[in-house]
């Protein structure tokens, strides 16, 4: 193209805004590191020669059976069974990332499906689906999740399913509202007059137009899913020990908080660091797609409007 | 207005009924022998038969379901499998603890959240605003159980070791016994809920305030020569509290049904801890009772918020 001003699509604009956002870059880098740690957890364990479930009763516990603090042998100290906390944090990152990404992906996919179907078909289908979303949103989700897990028996899969089940309705509501206004657009009528069926309109015409919202929600649901999983593991109904997860490490640490600060501090820092990085990225992604949402800019826009 | 209220109440009852059915299905059609669970692994077939009969488990599922709903309507939640105590007693015992926790925390988070939100909105991009945005995001990312643990570690234990026993580590003292001790024992749990929840309120208030401060009527108010203070409190804040109220209803309603994590971390004998205990011991009637109670509270909270709106804004009633 020879035009002086090149047309830029909304995705390109969003990406450009994002790549100028220092916080977004820092958060992405942090997430990158966490992913690397998770992927290479076995390598880390091999390099230190401490498998995640190995108990070092001689070197990893004091003579009175108390965990030992950070040292050259155990960089982040040991836990109540003399296991290496650094290695267990690395393995715990796998659990957190898998649950975070899969639960959020499932929730967004299902929420998008329900939201679009409700908005496109309207009528009784819309009423039923909307009421269903209302019900899911008014369930006391933690009690329900715990009860459900207690019946079925805890596992990684059930954690993912339960978290997704309690998260999709928020997405569904937002997507439905957006799809309702998209439905009335002229290009939808045009598609209809060219003979497009419901399937085509829902997934080829409407879906790409709510994609930005879906990406924002997917990013923001990852940290809340990670926190949800950690909470369930903390309460003993998440990942089954001895498999390490940040939640069950923090639960174990409660018995030792008086003598072993490192047992709380390092897994805690890993957990907050991860959710914080995803939340910062999520906020930035939202601002990038919808700059008006960034309130500090809104004020400026108003000033410009005045002049 | 009355029609609106009636419709809302009916819908609320429908939700509670739906939740009750869901819980019933979860537990009674679950692939698990409830009788064996109660009677123990070594129980003889005769004992199992007796237990089934006593609980009405020998009846067909629809009969059990109708009986279950019948008892529910009479507010009879059955008895604990474990102790034989009526579930309503368990709830009566736990509720004051949870209510003390929830109401105190709610007061704190409203003050902290709305206060900081307003200050940040009146000075966008200032140092305060930037720092607050960061701090809010930090607490927003913090799972409540972790903050509870950290408060225990630093504010209780480290201070205690240093010789300042300012905060007790938990346990509950009834308000009727000693108001001072009640508050002292609850202050760490309150803050561990309030700081996290306040983060949401701060972001919410700031956003809503900034929207409103850009409106024409604020400019009119300024042109009239009103003081900035009056503009903020009388004009801006009043019309930006709507999203805060909605959120407040949801949060408080949810919390009153049991602040599970905080109660577990601080060892407070509230509804949430009772629920977790019941879940780990598979004490079905208690789980069912508390689950239904907490969804009822969420429904009531939503009802109150909706009514409040409809009262303030007649347009809502038409919906």
Q: Mean pLDDT, chain A, as a whole number?
A: 84
Please tell me the predicted confidence (pLDDT) of residue A168. Answer: 94
* Chain A residues within an 8 Å CB radius of B275: 143, 146
Q: Would you list the DSSP string of A203-240?
A: IIIIHHHHHHHHHHHHHHHHHHHHHHHHHHHHTTSSSP
Question: Given A150, A280, A299, which is nearest B124 (Cβ)?
Answer: A299
User: Percent of chain B scored above 70 by pLDDT?
Assistant: 88
Please tell me the predicted confidence (pLDDT) of residue A242. Answer: 82
* Among A202, A147, A157, A154, CA closest to A175: A202
* Chain A residues within an 8 Å CB radius of B257: 140, 143
A147 at the B interface (CB within 8 A)?
yes
pTM: 0.86
* Chain B residues within an 8 Å CB radius of A223: 141
Please tell me the predicted confidence (pLDDT) of residue B102. Answer: 92
Higher pLDDT, A119 or B167: A119
* CATH number 1.10.3720.10 is the correct assignment for the domain at A12-306: yes
Question: Given B18, B26, B280, which is nearest A148 (Cβ)?
Answer: B26
β partners of residue B79: B86
Please tell me the predicted confidence (pLDDT) of residue A110. Answer: 96
Please tell me the predicted confidence (pLDDT) of residue A120. Answer: 92
Query: B interface mutation test: which of A295, A299, A301, A306 has the most B CBs within 10 A?
Result: A295
- Segments making up each domain of chain A, as ranges: 12-306
pLDDT (tens digit, 9 = 90+) per residue, B235-257?
A: 888 778 878 888 888 888 888 87
The contacts of residue B274 (CB under 8 Å, 6+ apart) are B90, B91, B93, B94, B258, B286, B290
pLDDT (tens digit, 9 = 90+) per residue, A111-155?
A: 999 999 999 998 899 999 998 898 888 777 888 888 888 778 888
pLDDT (tens digit, 9 = 90+) per residue, B189-214?
A: 999 999 999 998 998 888 888 888 88
Please tell me the predicted confidence (pLDDT) of residue B28. Answer: 67
Please tell me the predicted confidence (pLDDT) of residue B319. Answer: 47
A284 at the B interface (CB within 8 A)?
no
Q: Is 80 exceeded by the pLDDT of residue B39?
A: no
Is B297 within 8 Å of B140 (Cβ atoms)? Answer: no
Helix A207-234 to helix A85-121 angle (10° resolution) is 140
Question: Given B15, B124, B137, which is nearest A296 (Cβ)?
Answer: B124
What size, in residues, is chain A? 307
- Is A225 exposed, middle or buried (CB count within 10 Å of its CB: 0-12, 13-18, 19+)? buried
Q: Which two tokens stand for residue A100?
A: 């975070």
Please tell me the predicted confidence (pLDDT) of residue B257. Answer: 76
Q: Is 70 exceeded by the pLDDT of residue B167?
A: no
Q: Is 90 exceeded by the pLDDT of residue B217?
A: no
Which residue on chain A is closest to B281 by alpha carbon? A150
Q: Is 50 exceeded by the pLDDT of residue A307?
A: no
Q: Is 70 exceeded by the pLDDT of residue A299?
A: no
Q: What is the Cα–Cα distance from A119 to A131, expressed in whole angstroms? A: 13
The region of weakest confidence among A140-149, A205-214, A285-294, B215-224 is A285-294
Higher pLDDT, A201 or A68: A201
* Chain A residues within an 8 Å CB radius of B290: 143
pLDDT (tens digit, 9 = 90+) per residue, B74-133?
A: 877 777 877 878 888 889 988 999 999 999 999 999 999 999 998 888 888 888 888 988
Is A201 within 8 Å of A188 (Cβ atoms)? Answer: yes
Task: Determine the average pLDDT of the residues in B209-225.
Answer: 85
Please tell me the predicted confidence (pLDDT) of residue B36. Answer: 65
Q: Is 60 exceeded by the pLDDT of residue A298?
A: no
Q: Is 50 exceeded by the pLDDT of residue B152?
A: yes
User: Percent of chain A scored above 70 by pLDDT?
Assistant: 93
Please tell me the predicted confidence (pLDDT) of residue A302. Answer: 41
Query: A interface mutation test: which of B134, B137, B140, B143 has the most A CBs within 10 A?
Result: B143
The contacts of residue A199 (CB under 8 Å, 6+ apart) are none
pLDDT (tens digit, 9 = 90+) per residue, A220-273?
A: 899 999 999 999 999 888 888 888 899 888 888 887 877 778 888 889 999 999
């Amino acid at each position: 193209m020879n035009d002086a001003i090149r047309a830029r699509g909304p995705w390109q604009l969003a990406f450009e805004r994002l790549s100028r956002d220092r916080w977004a870059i820092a958060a992405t880098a942090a997430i990158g590191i966490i992913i690397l740690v998770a992927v290479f957890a076995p390598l880390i364990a091999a390099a230190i020669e401490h498998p995640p479930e190995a108990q070092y009763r001689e070197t990893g516990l004091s003579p009175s059976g108390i965990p030992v603090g950070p040292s050259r042998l155990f960089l982040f100290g040991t836990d109540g069974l003399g296991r290496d906390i650094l290695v267990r944090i690395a393995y715990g990152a796998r659990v957190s990332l898998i649950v975070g990404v899969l639960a959020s992906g499932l929730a967004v996919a299902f929420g998008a499906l329900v939201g679009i179907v409700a908005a496109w078909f309207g009528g009784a289908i819309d009423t039923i689906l909307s009421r269903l979303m209302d019900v899911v949103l008014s369930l006391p989700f933690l009690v329900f999740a715990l009860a459900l897990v207690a019946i079925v028996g805890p596992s990684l899969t059930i954690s993912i399913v339960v978290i997704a089940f309690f998260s999709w309705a928020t997405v569904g509501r937002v997507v439905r509202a957006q799809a309702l206004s998209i439905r009335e657009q002229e290009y939808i009528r045009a598609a209809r007059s060219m003979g497009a069926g419901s399937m085509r309109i829902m997934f080829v015409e409407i879906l790409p137009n709510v994609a930005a919202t879906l990406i924002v929600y997917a990013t923001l649901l990852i940290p809340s899913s990670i926190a949800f999983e950690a909470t369930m593991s903390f309460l003993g109904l998440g990942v089954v020990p001895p498999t390490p997860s940040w939640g069950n490490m923090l639960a174990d640490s409660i018995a030792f908080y008086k003598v072993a600060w490192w047992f709380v501090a390092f897994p805690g820092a890993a957990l907050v660091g991860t959710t914080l990085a995803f939340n910062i990225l999520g906020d930035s992604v939202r601002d990038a797609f919808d700059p008006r949402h960034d309130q500090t800019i809104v004020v400026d826009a108003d000033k410009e409007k005045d002049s | 207005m009355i029609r609106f209220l009636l419709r809302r109440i009916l819908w609320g009852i429908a939700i509670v009924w739906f939740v009750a059915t869901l819980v019933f299905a979860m537990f009674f059609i679950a692939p698990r022998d409830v009788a064996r669970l109660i009677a123990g692994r070594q129980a003889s077939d005769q004992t199992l038969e007796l237990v089934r009969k006593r609980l009405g488990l020998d009846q067909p599922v629809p009969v059990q379901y109708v009986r279950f709903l019948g008892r529910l309507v009479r507010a009879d939640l059955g008895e604990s499998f474990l102790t034989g105590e009526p579930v309503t007693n368990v709830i009566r015992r736990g509720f004051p603890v949870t209510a003390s926790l929830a109401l105190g925390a709610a007061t704190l988070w409203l003050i902290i959240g709305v206060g900081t939100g307003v200050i940040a909105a009146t000075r966008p991009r200032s140092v305060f605003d930037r720092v607050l945005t960061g701090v809010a995001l930090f607490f927003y990312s913090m799972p409540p159980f972790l903050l509870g643990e950290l408060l225990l570690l630093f504010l209780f234990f480290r201070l205690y070791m240093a010789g300042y026993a300012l905060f007790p580590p938990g346990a509950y003292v009834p308000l009727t016994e000693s108001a001072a001790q009640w508050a002292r024992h609850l202050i760490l749990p309150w803050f561990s809920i309030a700081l996290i929840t306040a983060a949401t309120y701060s972001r919410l208030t700031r956003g809503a305030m900034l929207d409103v401060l850009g409106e024409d009527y604020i400019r009119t108010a300024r042109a009239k020569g009103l003081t900035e203070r009056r503009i903020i409190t009388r004009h801006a804040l009043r019309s930006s509290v709507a999203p805060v109220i909605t959120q407040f209803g949801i949060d408080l309603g949810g919390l009153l049904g049991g602040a599970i994590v905080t109660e577990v971390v601080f060892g407070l004998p509230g509804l949430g801890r009772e629920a977790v205990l019941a879940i780990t011991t598979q004490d079905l009637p208690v789980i069912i009772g508390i689950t239904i109670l907490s969804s009822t509270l969420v429904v009531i909270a939503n009802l109150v918020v909706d009514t409040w709106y409809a009262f303030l804004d007649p347009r809502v009633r038409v919906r």
